[in-house]
Chain A
């Protein structure tokens, strides 16, 4: 019976481009930027890469279809390159492909790279998705902020939270991330904000204001993975291995069946439970050292803390306001600024999350370095609360 991939795959090298409004760079340049750093970190030659997984979401405004854009931009040696797309969880999906290739024994060394060039649209905010031939004929006319804002009305109704208290809690989430972003030279947004800044910001989708929404950024991130044995043979020290990698996708029940109350992510709960099981973690609140979760919107982060079993049901607001997730709290969340401030180039984000967890575990996080982290977790989610892809990845020191 299959028991997962715990400790079967190690991270050999990672790279991440500068995130932000990269007017001077196209997707091709961003891919090379992340790839170069990963290659230098891995200390290998390009000819040693056996296969690659490529993630980008809005291919129509980025690079076009298929795996060719990556193969061409990096001049890969005529290897397999698979383009994957799973909304904002695409980066985790690319990592999964590379990791499974190594874990299965099909490849010695595999590459996962995600990129998104969002700033060629001509306007601010995420562009809408096309959705095929049927969905646009009936689906509600929404946007990402409006879709995720739905969580707020449901969470408030379920846990009897008044609007002011919720606004202050989600403001704290963003204030915390901004404070962390200040210490990250690669982040898109690097200025601190106050609670008042967040509370008084222009409304985007009730109750989310400007500072409740993550940055819209260009960027790329890459990971090179191999077996722990090969990593050791190549001279890698402080080896970081993958402990768990689980995805869960909606099947329409949240959107069409009255069993879901709208206030949490049904899929995150499933993916997290499976990931903890795969990694052998039974007390997440005690055992997880740090995590990056999908803070596309502050409300998403808030409910996700409960979905990941780090806060008790209905207890996230209290933990947030107590600083439990701040940089100096018990479980720092978004220590690199998160989607909020590092930015959210969609195809790259899942890998960027791993980049910070990896640097922290290797003791290379500079000003942001946490004391002795042992387990880093990423939560990467794409879609909307009622229909989505949840990916949970756990990495840690290889024993």
Chain B
């Protein structure tokens, strides 16, 4: 039985209050006042579709018994158009060289499409297990509908044959060049058409035939469906489609608009994870829809294993880890949507990345892999030819050791108002790993006044710096305070 065997979710901690967005634009469009409700997820300056995907995948794989053979990354906001983004993720998770990878994009249904291809790959026997991670951080124009409706987020699932939570039953897809919105390659922002046309000509005519066929293939009547998971930013559109098909009202799952926003290609999976964690019971049927120039519909049946689903690595925990942000200007600044005077300290000249070094040290930089001395057992970061232990100093004795999930705490720290950072003050300090090893680390997602000596931290994958001249992104790991109730990835 092939199906979804594991899951992990990630939402950025910040929640931009919609009332803050509306307050900035209501002078030009009084009609916005009605949208000043709820909040949307907002990336920190150092997060993008890849960093969120790494965290979601990490949460997903924490409980996996073996690494996947293939990593599929779905996004319409991948940082690189030509440099395998899934490869960055695979390296960050130390999945090894012998793993297949694929980037999927260009349509809002890319997440579900990637999921279906993962399922096909495992069913065919080409892969033993697949990791599918969908993630989006979409750029929106100020005062656009998307700015209010969208959120940033990622969700990951593993597909395999052993003990699935959701057994795959059937699927159907259509491809219809219905251009509800578009973004040409290299462009920053979408261009969209009228919502009523999208709802009436697009959603209402394209989705039902596909869903109906998928249900037929699954041997299900629409009235029998327990969970209908379909995102849309158009209010009541999904409820209308469900009724049109004959799916019961109570099957329509919450699109999390009030607490998250629509996270692009990730959203079908984000909604699926939320449903899995809160309402899907053994034996129930689930239909997942992706819409974008056609439609993907996948039918699953929940197994007994869904009863034991632990909630600290999914969307429920991610939703609970929140910090309200009421400064709309900060959203514009973090996303470089306004021209800021960053000061002369921002004019550093060392952003050019020596790709030879990035490659040579890829396990260190992307995977936080250091060394363990086979002579004295000392853990150290970075790994080096000579052991750092003053009592050892043996040469060429280190083996690779991953610090990614090692418990750590703060030894020293400061909050620096002088150095350039997009989110001042810059917090950094010496973190020590409980089992050995230490380094001076950037901190992120910290509040001023929160950091203390002895505070427990976990390492998270983030953007280290942007090279705005050459448009390269450098990634590394940063220390984040461990907060009660937050999603945490533990070593399996």
Q: B interface, how many residues as a size bin? A: 35 or more
Across the A-B interface, give the 4 residue pairs with the lowest CB-CB distance, nearest first.
A146-B416, A149-B414, A140-B428, A133-B354
Chain A residue nearest to B442 in the complex (CB): A140
Contacts A/B (CB < 8 Å), 25 sampled: A122-B344, A128-B348, A130-B350, A131-B350, A134-B354, A137-B476, A138-B364, A138-B365, A138-B382, A138-B464, A140-B442, A141-B419, A141-B420, A141-B428, A141-B465, A142-B416, A142-B428, A156-B453, A157-B454, A203-B417, A205-B418, A256-B388, A256-B438, A262-B411, A262-B412
Interface of A is mostly: loop
A150 within 8 A of partner (CB)? yes
Most chain A CB within 10 A, of B356, B413, B436, B441, is at: B413
A253 within 8 A of partner (CB)? yes
Contact digits for B449-492, partner A, Cβ 8 Å, 1 yes 0 no: 00001100000000011000000001010000000000000000
Residues of B participating in the A interface, judged by any CB pair closer than 8 Å: 343-345, 348-351, 353-354, 356-358, 361, 364-365, 378, 380-382, 384, 388-390, 411-421, 425-426, 428-430, 432, 436-442, 453-454, 464-465, 474, 476
Give the residues in chain B near A206, CB-CB below 8 Å.
414-416, 425
CB interface residues, A 240-276, toward B, < 8 Å: 251-253, 255-259, 261-262
Chain B residue nearest to A155 in the complex (CB): B412
Contact flag A154-B414 (CB < 8 Å), given A134-B357, A137-B353: no
Contact A153 B357 (CB under 8 A): no
Contact B414 A256 (CB under 8 A): no
Chain A residue nearest to B452 in the complex (CB): A153
**When the two chains form the complex, which single residue of A133, A140, A146 contacts B418, counting CB atoms closer than 8 Å?**
A146
Distance between Cα atoms of A137 and B475 in the complex (Å): 8
Chain B residue nearest to A203 in the complex (CB): B417
Nearest chain B CB to A390's CB is how many angstroms away? 17
Distance between Cα atoms of A134 and B381 in the complex (Å): 14
Contact B417 A204 (CB under 8 A): yes
A4 within 8 A of partner (CB)? no
Contact B412 A150 (CB under 8 A): yes
Nearest chain A CB to B50's CB is how many angstroms away? 16
Contact digits for A182-223, partner B, Cβ 8 Å, 1 yes 0 no: 000000000000000000001111101000000000000000
Contact A258 B412 (CB under 8 A): no
Distance between Cα atoms of A261 and B410 in the complex (Å): 11
A136 within 8 A of partner (CB)? yes
Give the residues in chain B near A139, CB-CB below 8 Å.
440
Contact A151 B412 (CB under 8 A): yes
Distance between Cα atoms of A149 and B430 in the complex (Å): 12
Give the residues in chain A near B412, CB-CB below 8 Å.
150-151, 153-154, 262
A143 within 8 A of partner (CB)? yes
Give the residues in chain A near B350, CB-CB below 8 Å.
130-131, 136
Most chain A CB within 10 A, of B343, B344, B420, is at: B344
Give the residues in chain A near B343, CB-CB below 8 Å.
123
**When the two chains form the complex, which single residue of A121, A142, A202 contacts B344, counting CB atoms closer than 8 Å?**
A121
